[in-house]
Structure 1
């Protein structure tokens, strides 16, 4: 589909009825009676109001990202903003964490699928982050069913009948607290047009969930607070502009007016929260959110991000896989900053440890949670010895996090919750968090050089193969509507696919030497082409010819290799692939068709 021209491919015969839509809104996704209970006229109006108020802010923020990218490509390095030094050196603190989420020592994440939601809420974790972003393929069906599932979860009525196992899943009496992660600012929602243009994906995710669930959530899970969110892919708290931009006049529509020429991604979210709270008639600061620090520019603006969200923040999170992806993307034009194999870029690398230490120091200084990174391992059921070795790696990683001062951490599978809780309980005792007990003042001396230090390690042929294999397999699943994929005993999502893509692109662009194999081989288009062919043959053998033919692997290979060999690096793999999963149904009318 070409969203710029409005051309679309039909997804079947017209539905007998349509969604009841306010003026200026056109829902082009498939009609479904359950979806219609989410896409009510009032809920769509709320989303449209958010879109109309904030779309120019978002567009301007995306333009600021492009300007920053141009500066980095010209040789500049990200760093601390001298104009916001007063914020970093100030003695302010954020609002205190609500009692409902004071204890977050282990959080489980996963897509908004019905069975996943039930299992995650029942897992014994303190928090479940329901994901509309990296762990979800954003098809119309996935997004709308996700909203239905979350509504039922908040209402406590969610259940799932697994016919193959003849088992019914339902919620326990004690469940995890629910956080929701909407999509990033950069992703559109092409199935909902507002005033003729695609809606901003995260405003759709946030708006529909908040509208239908804020009241019940505050009663059942928030103890008078909430709903709770995770905010992804933020790059800049603020961007100072010397001259007026053509869209700067939109700044006057901020809830709290700021001087002309200053744009803030964190402030946009804060203003969205204020607008939602005003609509709902709830107290300022009721909505709370954790920001993922998963882009390199954002690590230099953690104080500024928390300051903008100080009434709505419950901390920051080390989104380490996307952070590595962002490191490569930020330095795509810097041949002196080539990363080793991605498996070697762990949290003990100096630039990663500095990132974690500074995040802990910043959060605890401001009175909020400092959350650790993902444990992506999944149980190896047919090999107890290998499974125990994998669990030992998890324990070691989580012990590092809790001793460093993290207040909690992430897990991708319910089977990891008990061993992670054991580690955190042994080191935190009865304290719900470490905000007051571990302050890490020495981290105040962390410099820009510490955060930008080149990681050590080697590049190998196996690294190139792994990138290629994971990238193609993940993208094939994503095109089939699956956003969280078990591969080689790890739960992979879009972040690891992105690392695979950008590292292949970087190695090809600079014809890097695979110096870890002792052969002196350089990554050329010819070598990459042979690698793709060999890995496709391997994938076919592993999954079987029939599944390979029907599994979108050839389509995924074409998209992945095209992005790896493109002259210019695309900002996001999934943004380029998004049009392949958009299906427009015939244009709807403003009221149900009978």
Structure 2
């Protein structure tokens, strides 16, 4: 049984219908236990990596990698040309901007670009419900009206990203057949509500129910998603294979299982995406405690051309094209500033360089976070693709990536500076404060920050502390110095009506505390974003959430 424990309003009445909740409940009854098993496997593998065991390509699945004959299903209707995809949250204004942007695809993000308040999650589903049906409109508090001006047949194809397996939805309580109650899985909730309300309407409109799958760490997790897709399609009488999924390769374990992930999802798979920011975070997190071998310098030195990032992206393109899948490039964080032409020009130059490299490497498309970047990205991919919708046929047989290549951090282990430490603290603090106020994608210092880049920031701080790093200016990076910088930034930024005090408290916990949480969003969500009766017990955190328990430490 699924019970609503959060507040109710017009959005919940529209989205959380008895039929939709019954479908979400059925998903939980069938798949929730497997989810918990896989989360426990994650914890085991993380402990092994922390204790000195490097990840590698699996000997048990060598036959899958060696078999030249299998291919994935490939693009569904409306996904053949993905040369530029715009990403963003699912609030009405941002959704309308995305649908009017001229991009080929809109990644409708309920994950890293969305602060998972109850209002954002249910409201985002309502936005998607209306967007799918071509009736989305919005009037701001100032009276400004927003509407979709692009004809529906030419709007970007919607690909929805649910929250990852590690997260829960505490405004829905799931009771299993044994009578045990826990918060619902955020993944099953997001997928289930979107699929139930929109799958057939999307097919009727000439597209389909398409998903970006985040944070996967193994082919077994991909198999779970595939089984969910089969179950959901059969449940509503839809032909199996209608769903299409694009998997974000944004964890180190997944990088070693790209082919296996494609294989498990082959009847529903469109491609893989190079989720660069979470991938960097995963590298730092996975090897916390492993010393200088996996040490990084200032964040701006971790570029796409350092050895381990270069190997990862090259392998992704080669793997995808070998199996008939799209390879989608990642997010360049630089954004334009309409009030500063010089800053905008610099941003456009950096974005052009990034997208030129991706298109030249064989990627079939890329991400942008702002509509003004679309012409720049489009020009670089147009120059390579021409009239072709993609370059899947371009095999990268010249690519030979080893396990050693994927773990080569040298080149990213640049110097740490006083300015880099202060910037890392400041960016994390400002992002978390915005996240606590309900905003998940934030422009800070000319870059688009989301949960992934905040994770990088707080993980770098912890790594520098653990490795007893000394900056080039001679400052020891330790808990005392970082805490002092945090106090100074708090004094500079805090003001009435803000959440900086809460943000500073959280940043101390997830960066300086004795334990290192696997995701900052887990304690942040439990403590600050849960509305309703469960908030009184939010301090229980991992124990009350179920999903967090195997991920602690």
Q: Scaled by the length of structure 1, what TM-score is found?
A: 0.86
- Cα distance in 1 for partners of 2:504, 2:74 equals 48
SS at match of 1:206: helix
The Cα of 1:552 is off from its aligned counterpart by: 0.4
Q: Would you say the 8 A contact 2:137–2:145 is kept in 1?
A: no
Q: 1:577 aligns with which of 524, 536, 545?
A: 524
Q: Would you say the 8 A contact 1:291–1:315 is kept in 2?
A: yes
The Cα of 1:433 is off from its aligned counterpart by: 0.3
Q: Is 1:479 the equivalent of 2:456?
A: no
The Cα of 1:221 is off from its aligned counterpart by: 4.2
- Cα distance in 2 for partners of 1:553, 1:499 equals 19
The Cα of 1:524 is off from its aligned counterpart by: 1.6
- Cα distance in 2 for partners of 1:451, 1:65 equals 19
Q: Give the equivalent residue in structure 1 for 2:233.
A: 277
Q: Give the equivalent residue in structure 1 for 2:192.
A: 207
Q: Deviations over 1:345-397 (max 9, x none)?
A: 11100110100000000000000100001022222122212211110110011
Q: Is 1:113 the equivalent of 2:91?
A: yes
Q: Deviations over 1:103-150 (max 9, x none)?
A: 000000000100111110110000000001000011111101111110
The Cα of 1:236 is off from its aligned counterpart by: 1.2
Task: Give the alignment's Cα RMSD to 1 decimal.
Answer: 1.4
Q: Deviations over 1:451-489 (max 9, x none)?
A: 000132211112211111111111111111111111112
Q: Is 1:29 the equivalent of 2:14?
A: no
The Cα of 1:586 is off from its aligned counterpart by: 9.2
The Cα of 1:32 is off from its aligned counterpart by: 1.0
Q: Would you say the 8 A contact 1:75–1:333 is kept in 2?
A: no
The Cα of 1:499 is off from its aligned counterpart by: 0.2
Distance change (3 Å), C-alpha of 1:530 and 1:394: same
Q: Give the equivalent residue in structure 2 for 1:95.
A: 73
The Cα of 1:63 is off from its aligned counterpart by: 0.4
SS at match of 2:291: coil
- Cα distance in 2 for partners of 1:169, 1:76 equals 53
Q: Deviations over 1:250-295 (max 9, x none)?
A: xxxxxxxxxxxxxx10011000000011012111110001000000
Q: Give the equivalent residue in structure 1 for 2:277.
A: 321
Larger CA Rg, structure 1 vs 2: 1
Task: Please show how residues 64-83 of structure 1 align to structure 2 within 5 Å.
Answer: 64-83=41-60
SS at match of 2:78: helix
SS at match of 1:274: helix
Q: Would you say the 8 A contact 2:244–2:268 is kept in 1?
A: yes
Q: Give the equivalent residue in structure 2 for 1:446.
A: 401
SS at match of 1:442: coil
The Cα of 1:33 is off from its aligned counterpart by: 2.8
Unaligned runs of 5+ in 1: 1-23, 238-263, 541-547, 588-594
Q: Give the equivalent residue in structure 2 for 1:251.
A: none
Q: Give the equivalent residue in structure 1 for 2:547.
A: none
Q: Give the equivalent residue in structure 1 for 2:162.
A: 182
Task: Please show how residues 149-548 of structure 1 align to structure 2 within 5 Å.
Answer: 149-164=127-142, 166-173=144-151, 174-195=154-175, 196-222=181-207, 226-237=208-219, 264-336=220-292, 337-436=294-393, 438-443=394-399, 445-456=400-411, 457-514=414-471, 517=472, 519-540=473-494, 548=495
Q: Would you say the 8 A contact 2:277–2:453 is kept in 1?
A: yes
Q: Deviations over 1:206-229 (max 9, x none)?
A: 00010011111111141xxx2000
Q: Deviations over 1:506-540 (max 9, x none)?
A: 111221122xx2x3322122211221122223334
- Stretch deviating more after TM superposition (527-536 or 341-350): 527-536
The Cα of 1:168 is off from its aligned counterpart by: 3.5
- Cα distance in 2 for partners of 1:277, 1:493 equals 32
Unaligned runs of 5+ in 2: 176-180, 536-553
SS at match of 1:453: coil
Distance change (3 Å), C-alpha of 1:565 and 1:211: same
The Cα of 1:170 is off from its aligned counterpart by: 2.5
SS at match of 2:474: coil
- Cα distance in 1 for partners of 2:51, 2:148 equals 55
Q: Deviations over 1:188-207 (max 9, x none)?
A: 00000011211100100000
Structure 1 residue runs of 4+, over 3 Å off? 165-168
